[in-house]
Structure 1
């Protein structure tokens, strides 16, 4: 029995899908960053403009990573909304 074109759907390989291609670098960089962050467990003194605090280095790195991810999300949202706007 031969399959007709309506029965057979084209199968796109998983790694060729656009969503996976955009997400893969994020997952790889995040994994490497988290390994680096949690390998640095000693306490350090950090100056926050005026006060000086002592905290684990992994905490400071995690805060910096989180702020970077937040900045990236805000930037991507602004860029996406700018490109979807249509002139009237």
Structure 2
């Protein structure tokens, strides 16, 4: 006898218990904290970029550093071998 959708009702998973949300929540929390910190620092500072000396708002320098760090993390994750993929053949 074929099963119908009413035989086994689908269980409801709470939103915060879903794996995708549990992986994304710390990233969102740290991003919000970092952005608040970045935009609270509005003074101008002098920054040496190898040879030239530039004056820019501190929030701009922090935002650039945060973006470069995020890019480095994404590249590192992209280059990491698949941990949950297929097992090597024997």
Q: Which of the numbers 5, 8, 24 marks the counterpart of 2:7?
A: 5
The Cα of 1:48 is off from its aligned counterpart by 0.6
Q: What's 1:70 paired with?
A: 71
Report the TM-score when normalising by structure 1.
0.85
Runs of 4+ with >3 A deviation:
84-88
Q: What is the count of residue pairs matched by the alignment?
A: 82
CA distance in 2 between partners of 1:51 and 1:58 (Å): 19
- Report whether the alignment pairs 1:18 with 2:48: no
Q: Does the C-alpha gap of structure 1 residues 46 and 85 become closer, same or farther in structure 2, counting only changes over 3 Å?
A: farther
Stretches of structure 1 lacking an aligned partner (at least 5 in a row): none
| TM-score normalised by the chain length of structure 2 | 0.83
* Unaligned ranges ≥5, structure 2: 1-5
Looking at structure 2, the residues matched to 47 and 66 of structure 1 have their Cα atoms a distance apart, in angstroms, of 19
SS of the equivalent of 1:10 reads coil
